[in-house]
Structure 1
Amino acid sequence: MTCRIDHLVVTAPDLDQGVAWIEQALSVRMSGGGQHPRMATHNRLLRLGEACYLEVIAPDPAASPPGRPRWFGLDAAGADTPVALRTWVARSTGIAASLASATEEVGALERMNRGALEWLISITPDGSLPLGGVAPALIEWPAGVHPAQSLPDTGCRLVALELHHPQPSRVGALLASIGVAEAGVAVSVHPAPAPGLVAHLSTPSGMKTLAAV
């Protein structure tokens, strides 16, 4: 079973703030997105390829309280928490098997939706980020369906993803166990005092970098 890089997740205390951060960093405009009623969150998207995108996600102040922890560690963030690249999501065509083979706990399988779009995703019960965000959530879309297909192509592409962690061997073992492979994207694991991600993207205005801090 092989998993592909599905999307990068940038979290923000406020969606407009997060969108402004990305648009300034990459010199492109974001589009698409919507509301996640079960999580009381909303998002905006940026296409990074045929089946890859970047997501800015934040609590939705207009939504009813979710009655559960929000995903992607959003409940742990305060109004002064900086916008940052927090984690990533890996796509599987057999998510149950991928979860069973994973060497780390990356969450329980749940069905989610945004409007008419539905998918399966792994979510930790407390909303925390596995391995501090370096471990991906797993996702499975219906056959022939992917959000990137409906997004305008701004010319941005993911070139490399660096995964930094105090226990790099755990990260490497997880990637091997779920078979992460992405043609054209260099995925590397590095020792570091704290978990973090660095994404390198090609854009119409040159190479750009997004990081956890």
Structure 2
Amino acid sequence: MILDHLAVAGETLEDAVAHAEQSLGIPLGRGGCHARYGTHNRLTGLEDGLYLEAIAIDPDAQPQEQPRWFNLDRFQGPARLSNWILRSEDLNAEKPLLPPHAQRHVQMQRGDLSWLMTVPADGLLPFDNLFPAVLQWQAEPPAARLPQSGCRLSRLVLAHPQAAALQAALDRILDDPRIKVEQGAPAMMAEFATPHGARVLR
């Protein structure tokens, strides 16, 4: 599996977008809506084939399924970096490598994009939502057609009280030197090289 994108969540999409833009000094482009979970997003491209997503509950949408993905039903407080998402080329074959609670997957659609994605039944991913969601694109990944921000991910740091267990779970599915696991209270932080210099997104 490889890193696909990062997600910033907010109580509103405006909050999530503002936090991402202010943290990195770049604008986010357009996005769309996810009817299944009643959410909406905005996106921007990152270097190395990645992208950044701002996401929140869409107050005008009626979700087809709850709990929502990314644990958004329980989201409170300031907008923040909330999730990271891996890409699999064969999700059905690789699901057994994931923790049991993270193996459920659903079919997703947004416009002309379709994909499979792991979404636990309660919406909460393992290790206090710090374990990555995993998707399999069923069309061309969107990163290539997004406006490019000129930002490159340098490090993604995950802190958790069960750091050793989290590291062991990640070692089964991922080999990416940018991903660092540390002991500590649950938290996520990403460092970027941007056109404005080094920036941090929390």
Q: What TM-score do the two structures reach when normalised by structure 1?
A: 0.90
> Structure 1 residues 138, 32: closer, same or farther in 2, change over 3 A?
same
Shift of 1:42: 0.1
AA at the equivalent of 2:178:
A
- Give per-residue Cα distances to partners, 1:101-126, cap 9 Å, x unaligned: 12453241111011110001000101
Give runs of aligned pairs for residues 74-113 of structure 1, distance below 5 A.
74-78=72-76, 81-103=77-99, 105-113=101-109
Specify which of 163, 183, 191 is matched with residue 158 of structure 2.
163
Shift of 1:200: 0.5
Shift of 1:160: 0.7
Specify which of 19, 22, 26 is matched with residue 20 of structure 2.
22
Distance 1:7 1:59 in 2: 19
Q: Secondary structure of 2:31's match?
A: coil
Unmatched 5+ stretches in structure 1: none
Q: Which residue of 2 aligns with 1:181?
A: 175
Q: Secondary structure of 1:133's match?
A: coil
Q: Which residue of 1 aligns with 2:64?
A: 66
Specify which of 114, 119, 130 is matched with residue 134 of structure 1.
130
Q: Does the Cα contact within 8 Å between 1:166 and 1:191 map onto a contact in 2?
A: yes
Percent identical: 39
- Give per-residue Cα distances to partners, 1:74-100, cap 9 Å, x unaligned: 10124xx21001121111111122211
Distance 1:205 1:74 in 2: 31
Distance 2:114 2:151 in 1: 25
Shift of 1:149: 1.0
Unmatched 5+ stretches in structure 2: none
> Structure 1 residues 62, 103: closer, same or farther in 2, change over 3 A?
closer
